[in-house]
């Protein structure tokens, strides 16, 4: 089993945590997402890699299949390797995990990517040779992903988009705060893939929007982030970082809903 991943942040962080939680053997393939080389590796060629809504990765290769979409990779791991289960055993609990994932993917994910790319990716691209970046970008097969990188390259983040992203993060934090008032973990009494999924996207938020997520306005979310960060598997996942600052590593990733 091989995992192609970048810095352990947002999407790449999820399968790394799940693999370590389950104690599975895997080969880590650290990829420079800015070089877009994964699109030219024959073992990864598939429509699901070319049209990955998360963009560059992570990609899990197992049983001859190259799998994208970080949450679905973690779900795969839990179904293929059922020891140390990371989902509730009942249908209701599993439905809750799926609906949380949908919310994280549609509302929180795009908002965090926008703020993260504006703060870290856009300046990082400015420091690089523009022609090199353009040349590398030509490898990206999907028009949506190319548009995301183009926005980062131009620093094209309107005030409306930033305000909308902050609004979405505010909604998400409130929703998590309410849920954690009802149970210790998002899907119920036990830590699950829903917590891993939300944690990976929320971890950079106290840096990106400190006024929207702090111990005062969302004490339960802040404590929950701390509980998850203290888990040995999460520490092991974060140890895959090469920059020492994984929470600053962003790719354009998820699009905002086009319906407004």
Partner 1 sequence: MTPTLYHWEPNANSGKPMLALKEKGVAFESHYLDLLNFDQHKPDYLKINPNGTIPALVHGDLVLTESTAIMEYVDEAFDGPSLRPDAPEERWRMRWWMRFFDQYFAPSLSMIGWSVFVGPSVRDRDPEELKTAIERIPLKERKIAWSKAIYNTFSEEELAESRRRCAVGTQLLEERLSVSKWIAGASYSLADINGFNLGYAIPLAQPQICNDEKTPRIMAWLRAIYARPAAKATWAMGRTQMAKRVTYLDS
Would you tell me which residues interact with partner 1 (CB under 8 A)?
Answer: 47-48, 51, 53, 62-65, 67-69, 72-73, 75-76, 79-80, 91-92, 94-95, 98-99, 102, 105-106, 143, 257-260
Tokens read off for 196 = 């891993």
Q: What is the DSSP string of the chain?
A: -EEEE-SSSHHHHHHHHHHHHHT---EEEE--GGGTGGGG-GGG-SHHHHT-TT-S--EEEETTEEE--HHHHHHHHHHHS-SS--S-SSHHHHHHHHHHHHHIIIIIHHHHHHHHIIIIIHHHHHTS-HHHHHHHHTT---HHHHHHHHHHHHT---HHHHHHHHHHHHHHHHHHHHHHHH-SBTTBSS--HHHHHHHHHHTTHHHH-TTTSSTTT-HHHHHHHHHHHTSHHHHHHHTT-SSS-GGG-----SPPPTT-
* Contacts of range 35-42, beta carbons closer than 8 Å, 24 or more positions apart: 35/136, 36/136, 36/137, 36/139, 36/140, 37/139, 38/4, 39/139, 39/140, 39/141, 40/139
Q: What is the closest distance, in whole angstroms, from the C-beta atom of residue 51 to partner 1 in the complex?
A: 6
Instruction: Considering the complex, state which of residue 25 and residue 259 has its C-beta at the smaller distance from partner 1.
Output: 259
């Amino acid at each position: 089993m091989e995992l192609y991943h970048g810095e352990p942040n947002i999407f790449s962080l999820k399968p790394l945590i799940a693999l370590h939680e389950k104690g599975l053997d895997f080969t880590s393939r650290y990829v420079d997402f800015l070089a877009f080389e994964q699109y030219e590796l024959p073992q990864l060629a598939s429509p699901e890699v070319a049209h990955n809504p998360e963009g560059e990765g992570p990609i899990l290769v197992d049983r001859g299949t190259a799998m994208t979409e970080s949450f679905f990779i973690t779900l795969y791991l839990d179904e293929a390797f059922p020891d140390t289960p990371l989902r509730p055993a009942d249908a209701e609990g599993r439905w809750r995990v799926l609906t949380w994932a949908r919310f994280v993917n549609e509302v929180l994910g795009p908002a965090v990517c926008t703020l993260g790319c504006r703060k870290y990716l856009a300046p990082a691209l400015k420091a690089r040779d523009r022609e090199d970046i353009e040349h590398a970008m030509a490898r990206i097969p999907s028009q949506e992903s190319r548009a995301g990188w183009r926005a980062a390259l131009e620093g094209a983040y309107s005030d409306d988009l930033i305000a909308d992203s902050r609004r979405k993060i505010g909604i998400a934090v409130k929703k998590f705060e309410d849920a954690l008032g009802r149970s210790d973990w998002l899907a119920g009494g036990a830590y699950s893939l829903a917590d891993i999924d939300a944690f990976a996207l929320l971890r950079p938020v106290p840096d990106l929007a400190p006024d929207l997520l702090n111990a005062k306005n969302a004490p339960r979310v802040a404590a929950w982030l701390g509980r998850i960060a203290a888990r040995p598997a999460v520490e092991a996942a974060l140890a895959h970082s090469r920059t020492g600052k994984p929470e600053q590593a962003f790719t354009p990733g998820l699009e905002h809903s086009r319906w407004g």
